């Protein structure tokens, strides 16, 4: 069986990490595309030279030509600019929207059958715009955010409880902004919901509230530490989990920004919800029930996404 082809648009911090992970996990051959001449070529060659040591077979090609994306099975988009300290994700909108137009047109012309995962911020608005620019069917394009936000919450919870991260599940829905929705009722340690663990005395409500808040601000915490950019290891690992579910038809249930057409009362927007990712892309959108409080939290987050989508329409009349 021929190897799969994974195209990475953007060969910066996340793109480079993705390229390395694709090799280490033997998911397929890699094409790295970036406007910065030499960067995708250099990173591709460097990783290819690590392959004999780690023992994986994958071809790497760096390019400035969209035609090299032809036939890609999966495309992961990180092209654009990341945050610097003091910036919100929303500050990136104007610059990254222009990038999404170029990327969308490239995908439309050269790999319209790919499964596309967008990571560029502000995530929910950029994946929405990328779908419009690329014309991809809604089941073939998703945004990566919920897997990362849930992983951050899982890490904090595992540290607090002194248990393996493997036994902690977490559920973070809504838009990828400071009002994202970590849902404690649907987050568990070995199946035991977090509110039960508070009742059992494993932790306190105050500590749980602090972990929820730290999750919401998790991206900013890394930006403030790094000072020159934003997180890349965990974002790359999260997108790879999504790509792997598609390529191997694993049908994993993952929180992702998916195109909603009435689910959760939302129409024609991408918002983080649990979905099943299999060989057909988005195979199912899972609708969970909310308490009044959870519903209000989710609606607030959706309202933030909506204002960013409206801002995109204002900048790019073609999107209106
Ligand atoms: P960075 O290391 O700057 O890489 C971005 C790359 O995009 C650079 O190499 C640029 O040369 C390249 N680029 C810029 N414009 C174009 C273009 N038109 N076509 C092709 N390539 C282009 O950033 P990064 O890898 O750290 O982050 C990439 C994006 O991911 C940023 O927008 C971040 O804000 C975002 N991000 C999202 C999350 C989520 O959870 C959603 C997490 C972390 C970062």
Residue 266 to residue 7: CA distance in whole angstroms: 31
Q: Is the pTM of this model over 0.80?
A: yes
- Is pLDDT at 83 greater than 90 in this prediction? no
143 C-alpha to center of ligand 1: Å?
A: 14
Q: What is the pLDDT of residue 27?
A: 98
Residue 121 annotated as lining a ligand binding site = yes
- Ligand 1 atom closest to the CA of 99, numbered from 1: 18
Backbone angles phi, psi at 220, to 5 degrees: -65, -35
ipTM of the complex: 0.99
CB contact at 8 A, 180 and 173: yes
- Is pLDDT at 127 greater than 90 in this prediction? yes
Q: In the beta sheet, which residues pair with residue 116?
A: 75, 141
Residue 64 annotated as lining a ligand binding site = no
Mutate to test the pocket of ligand 1, among 119, 143, 172 (most ligand atoms within 8 A of CB): 119
Q: What is the pLDDT of residue 317?
A: 86
HSE of 62 in the Cβ direction (CA atoms, 13 Å)? Answer: 21
Atom 26 of ligand 1, nearest CA residue: 13
CB contact at 8 A, 186 and 274: no
Q: Is 176 a catalytic residue?
A: yes
Over residues 47-62, the pLDDT tens digits come to 999 999 999 999 999 9
Over residues 138-178, the pLDDT tens digits come to 999 999 999 999 999 999 999 999 999 999 999 999 999 99
Residue 175 annotated as lining a ligand binding site = no
pLDDT averaged over the chain?
97
Q: Strands, DSSP E only, in the chain?
A: 5-9, 29-33, 60-63, 74-77, 115-118, 141-143, 168-169, 172-173, 181-182, 188-189, 192-193, 252-261, 267-278, 281-285
- Going by C-alpha positions, the residue among 88, 91, 100 that lies closest to residue 128 is 100
Over residues 153-164, the pLDDT tens digits come to 999 999 999 999
Q: What is the pLDDT of residue 225?
A: 97
Atom 2 of ligand 1, nearest CA residue: 12
């Amino acid at each position: 069986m021929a190897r799969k082809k994974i195209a990475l648009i953007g060969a910066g911090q996340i793109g480079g990490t993705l390229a390395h992970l694709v090799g280490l996990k033997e998911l397929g051959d890699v094409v790295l595309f970036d406007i910065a001449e030499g960067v995708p070529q250099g990173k591709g060659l460097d990783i290819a030279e690590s392959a004999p040591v780690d023992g994986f077979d994958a071809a790497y090609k760096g390019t400035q030509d969209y035609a090299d994306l032809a036939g890609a099975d999966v495309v992961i988009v990180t092209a654009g600019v990341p945050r610097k300290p003091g910036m919100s994700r929303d500050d990136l909108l104007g610059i990254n929207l222009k990038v999404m137009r170029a990327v969308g047109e490239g995908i439309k012309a050269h790999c319209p059958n790919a499964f596309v995962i967008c990571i560029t911020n502000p995530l929910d608005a950029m994946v929405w715009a990328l779908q419009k620019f690329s014309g991809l069917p809604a089941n073939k394009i998703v945004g990566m955010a919920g897997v990362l936000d849930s992983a951050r919450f899982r890490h904090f919870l595992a540290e607090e409880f002194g248990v393996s991260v493997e036994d902690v599940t977490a559920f973070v829905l809504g838009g990828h902004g400071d009002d994202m929705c970590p849902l404690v009722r649907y987050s568990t340690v070995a199946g035991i919901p977090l509110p039960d663990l508070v009742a059992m005395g494993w932790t306190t409500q105050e500590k749980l509230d602090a972990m929820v808040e730290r999750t919401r601000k998790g991206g900013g915490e890394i930006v403030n530490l790094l000072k020159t950019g934003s997180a890349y290891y965990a974002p790359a690992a999260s997108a790879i989990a999504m790509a792997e579910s598609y390529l191997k038809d694993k049908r994993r249930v993952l929180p992702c920004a998916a195109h909603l057409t009435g689910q959760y009362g939302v129409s024609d927007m991408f918002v983080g919800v649990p979905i099943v990712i299999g060989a057909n892309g988005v195979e199912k959108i899972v609708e969970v029930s909310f308490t009044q409080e959870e519903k209000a939290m989710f609606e607030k987050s959706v309202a933030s996404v909506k204002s960013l989508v409206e801002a995109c329409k204002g900048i790019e009349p073609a999107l209106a």
